[in-house]
Amino acid sequence: MQVECHIAVGWLMGNLVPGADRRFRALITFSAVAPDLDALSYVFGPTAYNNCHHCYGHNIFAGALFTILCTILARPGWRWITALFAALGFASHWLGDYFFSGWPLKTFWPISNVEAIYDRSIGLDAPINHVLSYIAIAFFISSVWLWKRTVFETVWPVMDRLLTGLTLPHKLACTQCGRRTGQQCQICHEPVCMRHARVTRRLTIICPRCAAAAKTEKSRESVSP
């Protein structure tokens, strides 16, 4: 199974628990994709990749390690449910690769080198895996409307704010033209539509007035001794 599919499964699981916070969702998403850390072996060449991938990170001992790590990093009061969902996240990855990767899995490595593979396992280049990848991407997009957050919320908060801001209900009136919008300047918090908004290099949305003020301040700094 492709990595974006594993991320989608973890992201879905993390969002299904009522009252869960950003840390919980991040940990569960991590648990669902963590086994593929052994794919980093590719930097040492194809041979190392063939020997290590679906081995070092895809055994039950690695799964226990990922679960313990997520449990330790969880907030107090959330450790038991984090442990449960982290274990399920790892299990979802193992099952996904067992049925949809075409690779043998050394489930009990390093105690045993016995390989487990589904006799009708589907390769990564099979059409069904491409379909699942498209579904995962569509799910990432739809989650903006479903939960008003994105999978970027932990690793790229600025992008998360930008994408969620674009989907807010259009209940505000832009101070520039009166057009209905759900977006606000992230400096002065005045309503601003995307026609008049300015997006900075850091993906911050600001109104023309704040953009002009920032430009003036930057000019003053450039000429100051």
Q: DSSP letters of 173-203?
A: E-TTT--EES-B-TTT--B--TTT-EE-TT-
Residue 200 has pLDDT above 60, yes or no: yes
Query: What's the pLDDT tens digit per position in 9-67?
Result: 999 999 999 999 999 999 999 999 999 988 888 788 888 878 888 888 899 999 999 99
Amino acid in the structure at residue 94 = W
Instruction: Say whether both 28 and 78 belong to one domain.
Output: yes
Beta bridge partners of 196: none
Average pLDDT (205-222) is 79
Measured N-to-C along each axis, helices 79-100 and 60-73 cross at an angle, to the nearest 10 degrees, of: 150
Whether 160 is covered by a domain: the verdict is no
Give which of 4, 14, 137 is closest to 84, Cα–Cα.
14
Chain-centre distance for alpha carbon 180: 31
pLDDT higher than 70, residue 169: no
Residue 70 lies inside a defined structural domain of this protein: yes
213 and 141, same structural domain?
no
Predicted confidence (pLDDT) per residue in 114-164, tens digit:
888 887 878 888 899 899 999 999 999 999 888 889 999 988 887 887 788
Q: Give 183-198 pLDDT, tens digit per residue.
A: 888 888 888 887 888 8
- In this structure, are 25 and 99 located in the same domain? yes
129 within domain boundaries: yes
In a domain, 64, yes or no: yes
Boundary residue ending a domain (155, 176, 198): 155
**126 and 178 in a common domain:** no
CA quadruple 102, 103, 108, 112: dihedral sign: positive
Contact (CB, 8 A) for 86 and 35: no
Identify the residue with better confidence: 8 or 44.
8
Which residue, among 197, 140, 211, has the nearest Cα to 166 in the 3D structure? 197
126 in the same domain as 76? yes
- Domain range enclosing 203: 168-223
pTM comes to 0.80
Residue 225, pLDDT score: 56
Q: Which helix (H) or strand (E) is 172 found in, with range?
A: strand 172-173
C-alpha 81/C-alpha 67 separation (Å) is 11
Predicted pLDDT of residue 60:
94
Question: Which residue, 100, 126, 155, sits at the end of a domain?
Answer: 155
Question: To which residue do tokens 């259009």 refer?
Answer: 170
| 125 lies in the same domain as 22 | yes
Tell whether 76 and 100 lie within a shared domain: yes
Is 41 a member of any domain?
A: yes
Residues 11 and 81 in one domain: yes
**Same domain, residue pair 84 and 128:** yes
Torsion of CA 7, 143, 148, 34, to 10 degrees: 0
Q: Which residue has the tokens 């674009």?
A: 166
7 in a structural domain: yes
CA dist 42 and 200 (Å) reads: 36
- 81 and 14 housed in the same domain: yes
Examine the fold and report which residue of 98, 127, 155 is the final residue of a domain before the chain moves on. 155
- 55 by Cβ neighbours in 10 Å (0-12 / 13-18 / 19+) ranks as buried
**Are residue 209 and residue 111 in the same domain, yes or no?**
no
Has residue 181 been placed in a domain?
A: yes
Q: How many domains does the chain have?
A: 2
Length of the chain (residues): 225
Q: Which of 173, 167, 203 is closest to 186 using CA atoms?
A: 203
> What gap in Å lies between CA 209 and CA 198, rounded to an integer?
10
The half-sphere exposure of 124 on its side-chain side, counting CA atoms within 13 A, is: 9
Tell whether 211 and 120 lie within a shared domain: no
